[in-house]
Amino acid sequence: GCVLVVSVIEQLAQWHNSTVKAAVERLCDYIPGKYQIMHHVIDREMNADVVCHSLRLCKQDPGQPLCHLYSPPKLHHLCELMHPSTFIFLPLQKSFMGFSSVCAFPLLANLCEKMKYVLRNKLPFEDFDGDKFSTFPTLRGYHWRGRDCNDKNTTTYPGRRPDNWDAKSDSNCNGIWGVDPKDGIPYEEKFCKGADSKGVVLLGDSAGAHFHIPPEWMIVTQMSAKSFANLPMAFSDEFDWPQFSEITGFLNSTIGGWTDSLYLRLRKRNRCNHRDLQNISQNGGSSGNLLSLIKSLARNQLLDNPAIVIYATIGNDVCNGERDTLAHMTTPKEMLSNVLQALRYLDSHLPNGSHVILTGLVDGRFLWDNLHDRYHPLGQLNKDVTYSQLYSFLDCLQVSPCSGWLTPNETLRNLTSERALQLSNVLKEIARSEKFANFGIFYMDFPLRQTAEEWRKMGGEPWQLIEPVDGFHPSQIAAALGTGITWQKALHEWPQVLGKENPFNDQIEAIFKDQGGH
């Protein structure tokens, strides 16, 4: 945290040819609300690593290597600079101490309390009737699940079968209700009866939730007050953007690329599916911790429509920040047990006629191969930080999102991919041999190779498929392209999963266009 903020301050001072104090003030002006960062005298000769060590915000534990993002300055210089008397600073070190400290910012204190609730329960913070759907966008609200259309009524929510064909009110929030005055038939019955309506549910990780840190938060040449306008929203969505994601995206992307999602395609195929989406993902989601996350699923076996559930933990079963990363990876035996437990839970909660698609793990060698010698957003101004340096820094701090793939050690990268393949084979075998009462089960490989191929044909470069700031997650472009590939596979191999095309789509749009918004 410290190295990041100090880097941005130093680069702002350099770019605007100002003092460090002026750069701090500039950054504070850009950020909404009154975040007070810190005021130190920072010597121009010192890089962010040195500053943060001097402030005792970074430390070197006995017997551990000295972690640094930038090339270290000459040693005697470092020792001299590390002496506390070189500094005048306010005792605001607390500001950087992880989550609790972010909460020291007055603007965020109130939000933090809400966030703690949301992180514990993975349910909408604002949900007055307790049906797990909300009329509020963030804090696990309708960015994550279809928007509730009556938050005072537990029996009204997206995805239910219509109550009395919704003659009187819109019980399933798809915008279709009332009676046709010409013949007295309820519109929902006329347009949606036998239409094979189904919702889409993602059980996933940060890739599925669509983790993204905007690069304009740290590229000083592009930085302005506009850059940080979305910070409060991003924070209250856990730095995830499910509203633009590959499975449940429904809004036009404001973070580059474009939005295409399984949900949007299902909705286009059958307008009765409007708002029936749930993104039940979390940063760090794995086959193990998904077993508690899955309890936030909202589906009533007797009252609701069937669902297509995408099970996609594409990396965290092999990704961790541990020193002996291989020892901490999920084993094939654990994978089998975790996934079967999740499937049994789904079988007791999903309406009959549902479908589950198991997605294989990604081959993360793609990351190092395409990024290691490129400059990270923090290193673009002075050509001094590559992804390789970023990965080593995170690994040294033992907070790497994936020690097995984000490493110069090729043997380790290959071993990590080997384990990922073994775990994918477990999923493939489950799909081949297991049978469940309420859903059919399918397997598909994670379509990274096809996505890269498709993007190359469009004139793109492989590195553009990866999030620039973390150098780890699929980007908006990758998410949108992946949707098309998944859809084509389903269309050709499992058409029963997608349901049939609704012949009344145009009529529905014509009659209900005024209330079609998400």
Strand 307-312 vs strand 439-444: parallel, antiparallel, or unpaired? unpaired
What CA–CA distance (Å, rounded) separates 197 from 127?
25
CA geometry: angle 367, 57, 24, nearest 5 deg: 85
- If phi > 0 it is left, if psi is from -120 to 50 it is alpha, else beta; for residue 299 that is beta
Residue 33 tokens read as 């609300």
Burial string for 416-428 (b: 16+ CB within 10 Å, else e) reads bbebbebbbebbe
Q: Walk across the sheet containing 277-281 and list its strands.
A: 277-281, 199-204, 307-312, 354-359, 439-444
Reported as type and span, the H/E element at residue 191 is: helix 187-192
Catalytically annotated residue among 206, 286, 287, 388:
206
What CA–CA distance (Å, rounded) separates 87 from 90?
10
Contact 198, 273 (CB under 8 A): yes
What CA–CA distance (Å, rounded) separates 6 from 452?
35
Contacts of 331 (CB under 8 A, 6+ apart): none
What CA–CA distance (Å, rounded) separates 159 from 301?
11
| Of 354, 360, 322, nearest in space to 207 by CA | 360
Residue located via tokens 């049906």: 131
Residue 235 burial (CB count, 10 A): 16
Q: 202 forms bridges with which residues in the sheet?
A: 279, 310
What CA–CA distance (Å, rounded) separates 227 from 12?
14
What CA–CA distance (Å, rounded) separates 420 from 438?
29
Verify whether residue 206 is a known catalytic residue: yes
Contact 209, 283 (CB under 8 A): yes
> Which residues are part of the catalytic machinery?
206
